Amino acid sequence: MKDLLIVGSGPAGISAALTAAARGLDFLWFGSRALSPKIAQAPEIANYPGLCRVRGCDFQKILQDQVGAMGLTIREERIDSIYAMGDSFTACVNETMYEARAVLLAVGVSTAGAVPGELEYVGQGVSYCATCDGALYRGKTIAVVSTNPAFEEEVTFLVQLAGRAYVSRSYPAPDAAGEPTGFPKSIRREDGRLQITYADGDRTVDGIFFLKDSVSPAVLMPGLAMDGAHIAVNRELETNIPGCFAAGDCTGRPYQYAKAVGEGNVAVHTALRWLKEKQQA
């Protein structure tokens, strides 16, 4: 049982991890050792205090060096779901579960919106976890949407399980498993199966798997209140779920590094106070 799970390795997640380490919390940090690819792609950052017109790749290197100097470990595991269990939280990573008393979501915002019907049918044919739900579709017809070559192992796993698999990829993958298709335009449910509309027509499937770098926070944590596409928080960065906090772009605009870093720090201090109050109760 950990004190805190931090999900995300952008500026908010980095700030949260540095603060959590400085305050002696026992925590796990999930994200990428490359931190945020959006930082590396920035041609120039001109509005971050103390760093005048720094290139994104240089800023990323500064952050990586600081994380390394603090001896912090980033677990490069994609969390499929997080459940509030009353006095604690359980994060599921394929068949592994991690427990903590509090959770901090610093998951950013996805530049790719959901396919119409995707969120509506989560748990009714729409899945984000190949390991969790793949066996349910053994020998059946499925669709797979993959946005990162890192997910090819999961794509192959699903294709081998299924009787037939339509696969949409956002990257070149010659001679890869599955029947290649364009990206879905919409999803609807009819007679217990999913009807997926592509540019070249409809296909009927039993289920569809979205293998993405990030999913909607509402999908990641059932019951989480949203404000449009963002997590609803108060000024203390508390969500509607006690013990769950959020920081950074996922809480809304402005999408700026300085705002994200500040929120990551505030969210951990709020979590510290919450943990102390729970211990004293």
Mean pLDDT across the stretch 171-177?
84
Q: Which domain holds residue 61?
A: 2-110+214-280
Q: Which domain-ending residue is among 181, 211, 241?
A: 211
What is residue 125's predicted lDDT score, i.e. its pLDDT? 93
Identify the band that residue 229 occupies on the pLDDT scale cut at 50, 70 and 90. Answer: confident
At residue 132, the pLDDT reads 76
Q: Exposed, middle or buried, 22 (CB in 10 Å: 0-12/13-18/19+)?
A: exposed
CA neighbor of 125 nearest in space, from 112, 145, 142: 142
Q: Do 193 and 246 belong to one domain?
A: no
Stronger pLDDT, 70 or 119, i.e. the higher one: 70
Q: State yes or no: pLDDT of 114 exceeds 90.
A: no
Q: Which helix (H) or strand (E) holds 156?
A: helix 152-161
Mean pLDDT of the chain: 92
How distant, in Å, are the alpha carbons of 75, 146, 231 from that of 245? 19, 29, 9
Residue 106 and residue 242 share a domain = yes
**SS3 category, 13:** helix
pLDDT recorded at residue 174: 77
Across 23-27, 114-118, 215-219, the highest mean pLDDT is recorded for: 23-27
pTM confidence score? 0.81
pLDDT at 111 over 60: no
Checking if the pLDDT of 112 tops 70, the result is no
Residue range 126-169, pLDDT digits in tens? 988 888 788 999 999 999 999 888 889 999 999 999 999 999 99
State whether 269 and 244 are in the same domain. Answer: yes
26 and 103 share one domain = yes
Percentage of residues of the chain with pLDDT beyond 90 = 70
**Sign (positive/negative) of CA torsion 157, 163, 168, 169?**
positive
The reported pLDDT for the residue numbered 113 is 65
Q: How many domains does the chain have?
A: 2
- Asked if residue 131 and residue 101 are part of one domain, the reply reads no
> Which tens digits make up the pLDDT trace of 191-216?
999 999 999 999 999 999 998 877 78
Residue 252 has pLDDT above 70, yes or no: yes
Query: Could you say which of 211, 245, 265 is where a domain stops?
Result: 211
Do residue 206 and residue 245 come from a single domain?
A: no
Same domain, 31 and 160: no
251: CATH: 3.50.50.60
